[in-house]
């Protein structure tokens, strides 16, 4: 059961009242009575900072876990198709917004372990984001494309951004949208897969007027077929991975008027790519010092980018095609998992020497990793063994494991306070 802290507010309020009146009047005695505070006595509060969720993709459910106790607190079902699902959290860490592959958007109360609200907002969605002020939730869609933005409290539609572009034949079409992130200044940034563009939706005016439409900045020809994107931890740089050409698309959000530019233009040039079984995920932006670590598409390597010059300085050979390349919270190591058929393995890279520190084999189908907020442990979902393994990141030893049905994404509530997650 969840940790429950019961506070005797009567005692607390009386103590506070006595203290304040003593300060103000020197010798006055509080006039508060039992009747004043009886209604508030024994109100129960539950903490959420220790909690997280695990997507159980086959059952359309999420398990609610406690990261300190390493226990499963409960389970919420009825969330639809979670074969490619992600989660963002409300600012108070009580609500998880679950983005399902079937276009479902579900608001889950993780304290009371219940569904607060659920809508089907599209036919096929790929992820979402929550605004800087926590009042807007945006969803990125494959079918019919575009981005929809909802009121975070009610899930009522605020605005539909259809992502219309003009193709090479002059026809207007709607594009799939990918790489949706929140950015400082009450903005959402996303890319158009077929449209080869990056758009910035600025909702800052909406904060002062309920009728204000977002300002949309459209950056065209930013790179062919962006498939995913990430934003730097400080919210300044947006990088989109490109499937249709070599290189990555970089946008400086401090200076969007300068447009997007291609970095690493010679990456993979003239080389045949391996078959891509699963597109890399760029979420997480593995940054250590002045270096960014990103997965190479169709190659068994991790690329190291110097963020001062935005040039590639190293290509680190790894076990397979990387999917997630994630920095430990202290940025000392980079943890990597891989796509099929080598998806039973994790490799850990030293962020200073760029050498491999360790190779682990948690089991069949390692789909995701999530570090505890300060990085002393990492939780690893092992789908085909119905298990989540928890490792000590200092010595790489397994601490314990939890059972979960076909686990995939793991999301801790600490994400509520990080840009882009």
Give the model confidence (pLDDT) of 365-390 as tens digits: 999 999 999 999 999 999 999 999 99
Q: Could you give the C-alpha distances from 30 to 7, 92, 183, 266, 417, in angstroms and in order?
A: 21, 33, 48, 75, 39
3-class SS of residue 186? coil
What mean pLDDT, rounded, does the chain reach? 86
Q: Give the containing element (helix H, strand E) for 14.
A: helix 9-25
Residue pair 376/396 in contact (Cβ under 8 Å)? The answer is: no
* CA–CA gap between residue 163 and residue 161 (Å, rounded): 6
Task: Please tell me which residue, 106 or 287, carries the higher pLDDT value.
Answer: 106
Percent of the chain with pLDDT over 70: 83
Q: Could you give the C-alpha distances from 260 to 184, 222, 331, 341, in angstroms and in order?
A: 18, 6, 27, 35
Residue 133: count of CB within 10 angstroms of its CB? 14
* CA–CA gap between residue 222 and residue 194 (Å, rounded): 11
Residue 74 CB partners (closer than 8 Å, separation 6+): 2, 63, 64, 113
Q: 169 exposed, middle or buried (CB, 10 Å; 0-12, 13-18, 19+)?
A: exposed
Please determine, for residue 245, whether its predicted confidence score (pLDDT) is greater than 80.
yes
Average pLDDT, integer, range 45-56: 92
Residue 275 CB partners (closer than 8 Å, separation 6+): 298
Cα angle for residues 399, 110, 92 (degrees, 5° grid) = 100
Residue pair 329/378 in contact (Cβ under 8 Å)? The answer is: no
Please determine, for residue 223, whether its predicted confidence score (pLDDT) is greater than 60.
yes
Give the model confidence (pLDDT) of 258-273 as tens digits: 999 999 887 655 455 5
């Amino acid at each position: 059961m969840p940790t429950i802290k019961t506070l005797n507010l009567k005692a607390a309020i009386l103590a506070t009242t006595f203290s304040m009146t003593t300060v103000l009047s020197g010798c006055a005695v509080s006039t508060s009575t039992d009747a004043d505070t009886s209604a508030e006595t024994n109100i129960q509060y539950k903490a959420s900072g220790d909690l997280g969720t695990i997507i159980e993709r086959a059952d359309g459910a999420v398990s609610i876990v406690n990261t300190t106790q390493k226990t499963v607190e409960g389970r919420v079902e009825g969330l639809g198709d979670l074969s490619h699902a992600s989660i963002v959290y409300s600012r108070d860490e009580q609500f998880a917004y679950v983005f399902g592959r079937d276009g479902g958007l579900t608001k889950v109360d993780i304290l009371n372990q219940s569904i607060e609200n659920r809508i089907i907002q599209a036919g096929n969605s790929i992820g979402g984001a929550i605004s800087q002020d926590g009042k807007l939730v945006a969803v990125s869609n494959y079918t019919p494309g575009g981005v929809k933005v909802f009121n975070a409290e009610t899930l009522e539609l605020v605005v539909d951004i259809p992502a219309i572009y003009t193709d090479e034949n002059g026809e207007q079409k709607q594009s799939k949208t990918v790489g949706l992130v929140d950015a400082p200044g009450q903005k959402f940034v996303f890319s158009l897969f077929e449209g080869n563009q990056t758009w910035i939706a600025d909702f800052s005016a909406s904060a002062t007027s309920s009728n204000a439409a977002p300002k949309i900045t459209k950056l065209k020809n930013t790179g062919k077929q962006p498939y995913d994107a990430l934003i730097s931890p400080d919210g300044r740089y947006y990088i989109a991975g490109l499937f249709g050409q070599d290189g990555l698309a970089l946008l400086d959000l401090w200076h969007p008027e300068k447009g997007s530019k291609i970095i690493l233009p010679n990456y993979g040039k003239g080389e045949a790519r391996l078959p891509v079984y699963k597109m890399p995920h760029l979420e997480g932006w593995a940054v250590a010092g002045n270096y960014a670590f990103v997965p190479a598409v169709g190659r068994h390597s991790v690329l190291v980018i110097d963020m001062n010059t935005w040039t590639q300085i190293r290509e680190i050979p790894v076990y397979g095609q990387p999917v997630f390349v994630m920095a430990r919270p202290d940025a000392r190591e980079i943890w990597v998992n891989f796509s099929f058929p080598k998806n039973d393995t994790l490799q850990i890279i030293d962020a200073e020497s760029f050498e491999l520190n360790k190779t682990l084999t948690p089991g069949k189908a390692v789909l995701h990793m999530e570090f505890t907020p300060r990085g002393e442990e990492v939780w690893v979902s092992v789908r085909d063994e119905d298990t989540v393994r928890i490792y000590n990141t200092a010595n790489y030893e397994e601490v314990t494991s939890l059972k979960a049905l076909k686990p995939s994404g793991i999301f801790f509530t600490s994400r509520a306070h990080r840009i882009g997650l």
